[in-house]
Copies of this chain bind each other. A is one copy, B any other.
Amino acid sequence: VRTEEQIIQFLQTRHSGGGRAGGGRFGNRMAVGIGDDAAVFRASRGSDWVVSTDQFIEGQHFIADCHPPEVVGYKSLARAASDLAAMGAAPFCYLLNLALPRSRTGAWLDGFARGLARASRQFGLRLAGGDTSHGKTIGIGITVVGSAAHGTALTRSGARVGELLYVTGTLGHAALGLELVLRGVHGSRGAMPLLQRHYFPEPRLAVGEWLAARRLPTAMIDISDGFAKDLHRLCAASKVGAVVWEGKLPQFGIPAAWSRLRLKSLELALHGGEDYELLFTVPWRRRTRIPSRIAGVPVHCIGLVRSEGRIQLEGFTGRTRPLSARGWEHFRSGRS
């Protein structure tokens, strides 16, 4: 059992030698790091700073008895980092707030720190400060800081009627993993590959930076609470509507061996959460500048921006139906 000050020291140790984050492209900009009252960083000329904060709460965003602590550590940072990807910002550093029951300050914390350090190296986000406290349940708060060239950060609000709608990667893979966990079959034979995206999602940082640097999208958002829900958010912020072509959606195919679960891949793709893919809009005249892969990640043109009012799904036959904003509401009261 560690004290609060020992926890901070321990987390620092786990992060030392953090690859790209350690002495990388932002190394010299961190004037004061962890251990003082605040972190201080030098702003370089011509760049904007991008800051976002997110929570990862026991019983809401994870279930401590189901999700290994490495997964909790990794995902808590991945979730916050995805907001930087959605702005097209380059990752810089993060701050951690951690509330823990005393029973979690031993082996659980070891695993948590391992997952967090792995994510920190992978995303190039250096730990710059934080606060630890006792808490009745596990509560994690992460603030990420990134930078973008002056004026290039991408908001949700720039989409215009007639533009094309794009999405990265695949949709529904993470939600399938969550279903396996919630149904208690995640330990079954052959389940592991299906859990990968639910356990260790990959925020599309490189894709976001690539797009923002070229100023190609007019609006962008990350898909954290489900494709449909986040599409509704982007449309609301931009005051537009949209039509999505069902046949173009990159749905994750459910392996036949799991058909007994009676899950529908379209349902998971539209309304399952935690994909952490990017959804963005591009003017028609720039469409030829969007390649089929960016930084190794497939990019799909999946619909059109329409005038405000309706968000629709167009099926294979050409018939449309309303696409509701229903999304992944963490662990709904009925479940947890």
Contacts and interface: CB of A to CB of B under 8 A. Distances in A.
Contact of A38 (B37, B55, B146): B146
Interface string A16-43: 0000000000000001100111111111
A60 interface: yes
A97 B40 contact: no
Contacts of A55: 97, 99, 131-133, 141
Nearest to A145: B51
A150 B52 contact: no
Interface residues of A, number: 62
Given A40-B50, A43-B47, A55-B132, 11 more contacts: A31-B153, A36-B156, A38-B51, A41-B48, A43-B49, A51-B129, A53-B131, A60-B99, A133-B330, A137-B137, A143-B143
Contacts of A218: none
A57 interface: yes
Contact of A52 (B50, B95, B136): B95
**Closest 9 A-B residue pairs measured CB to CB?**
A43-B43, A38-B52, A141-B141, A37-B86, A53-B95, A143-B143, A97-B141, A37-B83, A40-B153
A157 B83 CA distance: 34
Interface in A50-87: 50-55, 57, 59-61, 83-84, 86-87
A136 B45 CA distance: 44
B143 A95 contact: yes
SS class, residues of chain A in contact with chain B: strand
Copies per assembly: 2
Nearest to A42: B48
A96 B53 CA distance: 7
Contacts of A131: 53-55, 141
Contacts of A95: 51-53, 143
Contacts of A52: 37-39, 95, 129
Interface in A141-197: 141, 143-146, 148, 150-151, 153, 155-157
A135 interface: yes
Given A55-B133, A136-B137, A37 B221 contact: yes
A128 B57 CA distance: 21
8 contacts: A36-B87, A37-B222, A38-B50, A43-B47, A53-B95, A55-B133, A59-B135, A135-B137
